Amino acid sequence: MKFSRDIFAGATMAMSSLAAFSATAFMWQLAGMDFAASFTVSVLLSLAGTLWLAHGGYDLVLTPSLTVTGYLVFIAAVSHGLGWQTVLGSCALASLLGLALWHFAGSALRRGWPQIFSRGIQLALAVFIISLGLKLGRIVITSPWQVTMLGDAADPLMFWSMAGIVLTVALIAAGWRSALFAGMAVTGLVTFGEGFWVIPAAPFFLPEGLDKVLGQLDFAAASSQDTVFFWITVLSLTVMLSVIHGSTLQAFCREKETAEGVKKLFALGVLGALCGSSPLVASPASEAKVEAENSRRAVLAAGVVFALAIFCEPVIAAIADFPAMVVPVLVGSGFWLLLETVKSCPLSQAEADRRAEILSVCVMVLLLPLTGNFATALGSAVIGYALFMTMAGKARQVTKIVWLISGIFALYYSYGSMF
């Protein structure tokens, strides 16, 4: 029974993460990269990275980041005309800078980091995952007169996503350890039976095109203006990846050393750029490991699914076209993380300190789901914390690390608005 529970948890993590491979490959195709090569490289790298981190005790499922890939493709490549080879060069340099930063200053960053931010990041990430699932299932949609609005219940995707969420959350409330897998499996089977997604006539896909992306990165920009934007992209990406890696590791691997895990992820970022892949991040579905008795075994099971996925891109694309089975896992994972976080959320005894901490966490929890940008959410919260403490007459209690990070984020926002 325990073994099957681990297999279910691993399958849940992997199946909920597969859509990222097709989505990122499609985005890179818009920048000129070969789709088949991008898909194959990202799956292979995610499989290798997942197993490597599991060997080091970090039980996570790694996938390419949709947020980072969207930034690289639509801002750097499409809007500013950088070739995908040059964009990969910026990824390699950003990963090297991040690796050096966390190697030489990782302990200082940890000592100077206010404790409340670790819990605040987990709360923000939980709300973000829930919001991501609701948007993916079209349960909440954009509105011309307010931030969001409820989707149309006549939409099959919205209806079955909501049904899957209700089932999953009810099972979580009942204490089912395999609630996420059950919600995903039932929703997938019902929607398949109803014909909302079908297995393609040619479901298998032979890996190809690796020679088109391996070692193709470039560090030279076409003009002086492009060179300036290239380095701004490198610095922005360093900040963005540092935030994403640090926050997700704090949320999903609380018992492990954050700095060591971040360095491993940056090292994988360098390797990914050389191979032709977006930087890897921890998949939000990694929280599904709470359903497993042995999280290491669950990650190995997820690795088996990734290995099979290398040959099944048409099936993955079919599931991504009607992602109702993924929505319950994302929303359920967010609720699991929320439940784990609120059990113990330390606050300072002093009223002024506690007020600054709560306001900073609220900024982060609000901005992350609204913007989908870890750097924006955390940067605003850190700057806000320094400002709130200063206004309360507690500026001397703000650590040097907080002031330094606030300055970095202020520059990040300034240059981002200029370019």
Flag whether pLDDT at 241 surpasses 70.
Answer: yes
Token readout for 145 is: 């007169």
Domain ranges of the chain: 2-346, 347-419
d(CA 175, CA 250): 25
Q: Which two tokens stand for residue 338?
A: 């929320």
Does residue 412 surpass a pLDDT of 90? no
Per the confidence metrics, is the pTM higher than 0.85?
no
Which residues are paired to 142 by β-bridges? 148
Cα–Cα–Cα angle for 163, 165, 167, nearest 5°?
Answer: 70
Short-list 305, 283, 298, 309, CA closest to 7: 298
- Confidence (pLDDT) at 265: 93
Mean pLDDT of 315-334: 81
Whether the per-residue pLDDT at 44 is higher than 60: the answer is yes
CA distances, 55 to each of 50, 167, 193 (Å): 9, 34, 39
Show the DSSP H helices in 310-350 as ranges: 313-321, 327-342
User: Which residues are CB-contacts of 137 (< 8 A; sequence separation ≥ 6)?
Assistant: 151, 157, 158, 161, 162, 164, 165, 323, 324, 327
CA 366 to chain centre: 17
Look at residue 266 in the predicted model and tell me its pLDDT: 94
Dist CA 407 CA 382 (whole Å) = 10
**Residue 419: predicted pLDDT:** 46
| Confidence class for position 359, pLDDT limits 50, 70, 90 | confident
**Comparison of pLDDT for 165 and 174, the residue scoring more:** 165
Q: Is the model more confident about 46 or about 71? A: 46
Chain center to CA of 71: 13
Q: Cα separations (Å) of 19 from 25, 58, 284, 381?
A: 10, 22, 12, 31
- pLDDT of 162 reads 93
Tokens 């973000």 -> residue: 128
Higher per-residue confidence, 108 vs 309: 309
Residue 413: how many CB atoms within 10 A of its CB?
Answer: 15
Q: What is the pLDDT of residues 262-289, one digit of tens each?
A: 899 999 999 999 998 889 988 877 777 7
Q: What is the pLDDT of residue 52?
A: 93
pLDDT at 347: 62
Would you state the pLDDT for residue 418? Answer: 46
Check residue 45 and give its pLDDT. Answer: 93
94 within 8 A of 237, measured Cβ to Cβ: yes
